[in-house]
Chain A
Amino acid sequence: MFELPSGAEIQNIIASLKAGAGSFIPEIYLSILFMALILVDLATKGRKPILLGWLTFAGLAGSMFFIHQQHQMEAGELFFGMYVLDEFAIFFKYFFVVSAMFAVVLTMADRRFDTEVKSIGEYYALIVAMLIGMVMMAAASDLLMVFLSMELVSLSAYVLSGYFKRDGRSSEAALKYLVYGAVSSGLMIYGFSLIYGLTAQTNLLLISAELAEHGYDPLVMMLATLLILAGFGYKIGAVPFHFWSPDVYEGAPTPVTAYLSVASKAAGFALLLRFFYIVIPHGLSPYEDIAGSEWLALLAIISVASMIYGNVVAIWQKNVKRLLAYSSIAHAGYLLLGVIVMDSIGTQAVLFYLLSYLLMNYGAFYVIILISNRTGSENLDDYRGLGRKMPLAGAALTVFLISLVGLPPTVGFIGKLFIFSALLSKGSLYVGLALVGIMTSVISLYYYMLIPLNMFLRESLEPNEREQNPGLFANVLMAVLMVLTIWFGLFFEPLSEFAHYSSALFGLSFY
């Protein structure tokens, strides 16, 4: 039975909303951008896709200004603890906005949108809607908020991945994504309800305090952890919650694939880090007694399984997007290694790895789009001899792939270096995990190199084609991304400083 709130309570609520709104400006701004895009699309009757694209891009760029202002604000809870503002959340705001900007650029580059799609208006709006969801995922500090923001992301993503309505594979992707998403959401919400049952709280910090104070039944807690991991695991695309990813990656429009693989995965990690680091009670030496070892062991199993499965199955892929889907499963495994370390070095390693992944994965997908504009295909066989026809694209893709393997001098190497450093900073405790990590990265070399192998080592099926130039803008963007991938592999201080600075989670005492 609900009682109507008293006047004083309403006053209280309004005051909290007012206080919170000041720290909620980027989200409000993005919501306005979302609506504005729909209106502009209506006004132009969908005839100006390029205008809409650039408008989205500019709008997203503008949001950085408001995000930047949040650095001055004090970290804390908003809206009765539904939401938090901390450097960790701000990091992910930047991260998602940049991801969305890349997704917009990739969309404008992809020629398939010209033929497959009649109206592009809702597309950009959905990109922004998904962005809002992800931004809120990274800052949610209440079970309800966690669930709501995840659903906002998922619903937008379902539509986006099926955006090529006339393409059967795209529709299949959307349906698969939906079905798996629904199941894992259901499991996760069941896990939430168990936690609520244990603690009668929904706020993460309060749950943590409650668990520490009153203890709990380990079996129930374990079950809850497992169920919640199903939800998070689905978002990060880790084994055994990965079944959707190869089909969705292959079927979805390539920019959406890239967006999902980078931003959606990162959102999953943001949530994973905040949820587990906050909820499981911690003291001076965190997690040593209470259920900690179990969920860390669970994560370790998921991580090892992801690294092995993703890297091994990728070997037999013939489609480049599918290949990158398996590679992204493997990368979820590497990122989980950083989570397992459970301290600021681990968090920092995860954040850095995500930054490097953003750069190299978007770079790779951008080149794949440019190539598919030419060849109309993402099959490995159609990459034969392309290196000679599109030398810059070939070189750039090779650099991105080398970075994905984790070879110096690329940013991907530094990402792996930080992950392994974090593991080894605990002495010999995690050497086994590190060993799996490096062994599987050797395997990954084989399938990543299949792409340069086809591009450079094999002759084209139609040898007489001339050099093809994807255009000035594309060339410059590719070159810039390529140089950045190498530059940050040699001079990674700014990125790692940023990651270090951003590893502060509100409410976590062991930093």
Chain B
Amino acid sequence: MLSLIVFLPIIAGLVILAVPSSQKQIIRMVSLLAAVVQMVLAVMIWQGYDPSLAGITAVAGGSPEGSFQFIERLPWISLDLGSMGSMNIEYFLGVDGLSITMVILTALVSTIGVLSSWTIQKQVKGYFLLYNLLATAMMGCFVALDFFLFYVFWELMLLPMYFLIGMWGGPNREYAAIKFFLYTLFGSVFMLLVMIALYFSVIDPLTGNHTFSLVAMASQENYIHDAILGPENVMWRTVAFIVLFIGFAIKVPMFPFHTWLPDAHVEAPTPISVILAGVLLKLGTYGMMRINFPLFPEVFQASMYVIGVFGAINIIYGAFCALAQKDLKKMVAYSSISHMGYVLLGLAAGNSEGMTGALYQMFNHGTITAMLFLLVGVIYDRAHTRQIEKFGGLATYMPVYFGVVMIAWFASLGLPGLSGFISEAFVFVGAFSSEVTRPIAIVSVLGIVFGAAYLLWSLQRMFLGKRRDDAAYDLEIGEDGHEHIHFHDWKGKLDLDARELAMLVPLAVIIIFLGIYPMPIMGLMTSSINKLVQVLAPVAMAAIN
């Protein structure tokens, strides 16, 4: 099941390879079909998922059965290394509360992304090949439970992303693409070293061999005492935690490693921005929750305050930057940085409320930001500009668009009744109730105010008031005597067309629904979050020592 959901896009990619490049519609349909089937599979996994099982670590005795679900575990590589014993790499997939949330999100955003890719006209075949490769890599990352496999998927994302930004992006795409590539590779090569060091430090209790299994690594009793990352080796464990954290923080992206993100977003085509903001950024915080924190819980305990401070900086700095942007897409990109700060803050709280808020925020940010970028894409397609000052009074002329924008903007702002509110509320409840992060939480609340400021201000400038004299569109008096607007060389429907609605309406429905009744997603994560908190808690560690 999980193998299928991971590799379905790549199979679609192989089919596309056989289709002649002139058959653009067939290529698009194949990709859409794969994405839809992937989503159906995600829903089936969701239905078959038992939320009472905790995940995170193995059950007593070291077996992942009964803790993780939909497990697929096969030996992949087994090497004799002579004096060093044998090297075992497994094809090991499984989901728990952390990953199933992300699996659903990934399937959803991938599908939306395919729909949004309909407007890509240049080199359609190459585009969808890379897109499907990316979709496989993303999904693989979320379900891999072997560190080696995770790493392969993690790195596999980089190359398609590089080309997708670099070949279908804006004018400054070369710079943005290589910046993205270098930044993320810089983070992940350190992960490689930590991965190897962990391998030499951990024994799988079931086999007695060294292992790359993240499940075995999440239990501190599996570490060899005098190994490089063994429990006594405080210095190297701290170093390993820090470099892993930086690797994931680059992906989040956390201040001061965030500078690649606005560049990448501004240059990337709309669907790639959607994928980037909707899924890729979550990989950073997912990696923290799955790998970084549970493997080094005592270092996490010691660094909660620092993580919280970085979270607060992200929230406030991101909001300030967003406030200063003239380019709408850049504003949304910085709002992403700001909102991922809430995730960091929730994680830093280290309690159930904060962690639940963080994971739920990851899901909600995925849907909300996907929507924001889609909406930016809608207006960019029409006006060929994203400068906020080139618009004005759009609400009158594009009422449906304005309506959807209102939902997305207010969800991003954290309006009660929409999903973003619940996750941010949980984050703050968690952060307030933890002694460590309480002062940080108090400061971070300012972020909500600034968030409201840039969102409402942009809304006001673009949609309210009257058309500006230098606007990107002309006014016409239609035959019915009403005023209309007209974009230069835009042949399509002025307001949202059917394809655009097909992308936006489901997202809007999800955002509203999860804002009123969050349990379908939140219910999935509860037991896993509790388990994670327990693994991270000082009491649990004291018991081991």
Which A residues are within 8 Å of any B CB, using their own CB? 343-345, 348, 388, 391, 398, 402, 407-409, 413, 416-417, 420-421, 424-425, 427-428, 431, 434-435, 438-439, 441-442, 445-446, 449, 452-453, 456-458, 490-493, 496-497, 500, 503, 511
Closest residue of chain B to A388, judged by CB?
B123
Residues in B with CB closer than 8 Å to A343 are 83
Q: Within the assembled complex, what's the spacing in Å between the Cα atoms of A343 and B82? A: 10
* Interface residues as binary, B308-334 with A (CB distance below 8 Å gives 1, 0 otherwise): 000000000000000000000000000
Residues in A with CB closer than 8 Å to B381 are none
**Contact yes or no, B174 A445, CB < 8 A:** no
**Contact yes or no, A408 B156, CB < 8 A:** yes
**Contact yes or no, A500 B81, CB < 8 A:** yes
* Interface residues as binary, B392-418 with A (CB distance below 8 Å gives 1, 0 otherwise): 000000000000000000000000000
Q: Is B54 an interface residue (CB 8 A)?
A: no
B contact patch SS: helix
Within 8 A of A (CB), among B182-199: 182, 185-186, 189-190, 192-193, 196-197, 199
Q: Within the assembled complex, what's the spacing in Å between the Cα atoms of A452 and B80? A: 37
- Can you offer 26 A-B residue contacts whose CB atoms are under 8 A? A345-B82, A345-B83, A345-B84, A348-B82, A388-B123, A391-B126, A407-B158, A408-B151, A416-B192, A417-B192, A420-B192, A421-B87, A424-B200, A425-B200, A431-B193, A438-B193, A452-B163, A453-B166, A456-B167, A457-B163, A491-B77, A493-B77, A493-B78, A493-B79, A496-B79, A500-B82
Residues in A with CB closer than 8 Å to B363 are none
Q: Is B178 an interface residue (CB 8 A)?
A: yes
Between A408, A409, A416, A496, the greatest number of chain B beta carbons within 10 A of the residue's beta carbon is seen for A408
**Contact yes or no, B167 A424, CB < 8 A:** no
Closest residue of chain B to A402, judged by CB?
B159
**Contact yes or no, B156 A424, CB < 8 A:** no
Residues in B with CB closer than 8 Å to A348 are 81-82
* Interface residues as binary, B149-172 with A (CB distance below 8 Å gives 1, 0 otherwise): 001100110110011001100000
**Contact yes or no, A424 B83, CB < 8 A:** no
Between A416, A425, A458, the greatest number of chain B beta carbons within 10 A of the residue's beta carbon is seen for A425
Q: Within the assembled complex, what's the spacing in Å between the Cα atoms of A88 and B214? A: 36
Q: Given A427-B228, A493-B77, decide whether A457 and B167 contact each other with a Cβ distance below 8 A.
A: yes
Residues in A with CB closer than 8 Å to B196 are 417, 420-421, 424
Residues in A with CB closer than 8 Å to B159 are 398, 402, 407
Q: Within the assembled complex, what's the spacing in Å between the Cα atoms of A420 and B186? A: 16
Q: Within the assembled complex, what's the spacing in Å between the Cα atoms of A391 and B197? A: 39
Closest residue of chain A to B169, judged by CB?
A457
**Contact yes or no, B166 A434, CB < 8 A:** no
How many Å from the CB of A361 to the closest CB on chain B? 19
**Contact yes or no, B82 A344, CB < 8 A:** yes
* Interface residues as binary, B467-491 with A (CB distance below 8 Å gives 1, 0 otherwise): 0000000000000000000000000
Chain B interface residue number, banded: 35 or more
**Contact yes or no, B174 A457, CB < 8 A:** yes
**Contact yes or no, A425 B84, CB < 8 A:** yes
**Contact yes or no, A445 B152, CB < 8 A:** no
Q: Is B118 an interface residue (CB 8 A)?
A: no
Between B80, B189, B199, the greatest number of chain A beta carbons within 10 A of the residue's beta carbon is seen for B189
Q: Given A425-B200, A500-B81, decide whether A409 and B156 contact each other with a Cβ distance below 8 A.
A: yes
Q: Within the assembled complex, what's the spacing in Å between the Cα atoms of A237 and B199? A: 33
Within 8 A of A (CB), among B224-257: 227-228, 236
Q: Is B177 an interface residue (CB 8 A)?
A: yes
Q: Within the assembled complex, what's the spacing in Å between the Cα atoms of A388 and B186? A: 30
Q: Is B265 an interface residue (CB 8 A)?
A: no
Q: Within the assembled complex, what's the spacing in Å between the Cα atoms of A497 and B196? A: 19
How many Å from the CB of B160 to the closest CB on chain A? 11
Q: Is B173 an interface residue (CB 8 A)?
A: yes
**Contact yes or no, B163 A456, CB < 8 A:** yes
**Contact yes or no, A442 B166, CB < 8 A:** no
Q: Is B450 an interface residue (CB 8 A)?
A: no
Residues in B with CB closer than 8 Å to A424 are 193, 196-197, 200, 228
**Contact yes or no, B181 A449, CB < 8 A:** yes
The one of B81, B162, B173, B193 in contact with A434, judged by C-beta atoms closer than 8 angstroms, is: B193
**Contact yes or no, A407 B155, CB < 8 A:** yes
A-B pairs, top 7 by smallest CB distance, nearest first, are: A438-B189, A408-B152, A457-B166, A408-B155, A424-B196, A344-B82, A427-B228
Q: Given A344-B82, A344-B83, A408-B152, decide whether A441 and B177 contact each other with a Cβ distance below 8 A.
A: no
**Contact yes or no, B162 A500, CB < 8 A:** no
How many Å from the CB of B460 to the closest CB on chain A? 38
**Contact yes or no, B177 A457, CB < 8 A:** yes
Q: Within the assembled complex, what's the spacing in Å between the Cα atoms of A453 and B197? A: 34
**Contact yes or no, A435 B193, CB < 8 A:** yes
Q: Within the assembled complex, what's the spacing in Å between the Cα atoms of A402 and B166? A: 16
Residues in B with CB closer than 8 Å to A453 are 166, 174, 178
Closest residue of chain B to A457, judged by CB?
B166
Residues in A with CB closer than 8 Å to B190 are 438
Q: Within the assembled complex, what's the spacing in Å between the Cα atoms of A413 and B199? A: 17
Q: A409-B156, A442-B186, A453-B178 are in contact. List 12 more A-B contacts (CB 8 A).
A: A345-B82, A409-B152, A417-B196, A421-B196, A427-B227, A439-B189, A441-B189, A446-B178, A456-B166, A457-B174, A493-B77, A497-B80
Q: Within the assembled complex, what's the spacing in Å between the Cα atoms of A260 and B304? A: 54
Q: Given A402-B159, A420-B192, decide whether A511 and B82 contact each other with a Cβ distance below 8 A.
A: yes
Residues in B with CB closer than 8 Å to A434 are 193
Residues in A with CB closer than 8 Å to B152 are 408-409, 490
How many Å from the CB of A315 to the closest CB on chain B? 12
Q: Within the assembled complex, what's the spacing in Å between the Cα atoms of A343 and B189? A: 25
Q: Within the assembled complex, what's the spacing in Å between the Cα atoms of A211 and B151? A: 46
How many Å from the CB of A191 to the closest CB on chain B? 32
Q: Given A407-B159, A493-B78, decide whether A421 and B189 contact each other with a Cβ distance below 8 A.
A: no
Residues in A with CB closer than 8 Å to B163 are 452, 456-457
Between A348, A438, A500, the greatest number of chain B beta carbons within 10 A of the residue's beta carbon is seen for A438
How many Å from the CB of A408 to the closest CB on chain B? 4
**Contact yes or no, A428 B228, CB < 8 A:** yes
* Interface residues as binary, B270-311 with A (CB distance below 8 Å gives 1, 0 otherwise): 000000000000000000000000000000000000000000
Residues in A with CB closer than 8 Å to B173 are 457
Closest residue of chain B to A445, judged by CB?
B185
**Contact yes or no, A445 B155, CB < 8 A:** no
The one of A420, A452, A491, A500 in contact with B193, judged by C-beta atoms closer than 8 angstroms, is: A420
How many Å from the CB of B180 to the closest CB on chain A? 11
**Contact yes or no, B197 A438, CB < 8 A:** no
Residues in B with CB closer than 8 Å to A416 are 192
The one of B178, B227, B236 in contact with A449, judged by C-beta atoms closer than 8 angstroms, is: B178
The one of A438, A445, A492 in contact with B77, judged by C-beta atoms closer than 8 angstroms, is: A492
Closest residue of chain B to A492, judged by CB?
B77
The one of B79, B123, B192 in contact with A497, judged by C-beta atoms closer than 8 angstroms, is: B79
Residues in B with CB closer than 8 Å to A409 are 152, 156
Residues in A with CB closer than 8 Å to B155 are 407-408, 413
How many Å from the CB of A429 to the closest CB on chain B? 10
Q: Within the assembled complex, what's the spacing in Å between the Cα atoms of A428 and B228? A: 6
Residues in A with CB closer than 8 Å to B83 are 343-345
Residues in A with CB closer than 8 Å to B182 are 442, 445-446
Closest residue of chain B to A349, judged by CB?
B81
Residues in B with CB closer than 8 Å to A345 are 81-84
Residues in A with CB closer than 8 Å to B80 are 497, 500
Q: Within the assembled complex, what's the spacing in Å between the Cα atoms of A457 and B80? A: 43
Residues in B with CB closer than 8 Å to A500 are 79-82
Closest residue of chain B to A500, judged by CB?
B80
Between A434, A449, A492, A500, the greatest number of chain B beta carbons within 10 A of the residue's beta carbon is seen for A449
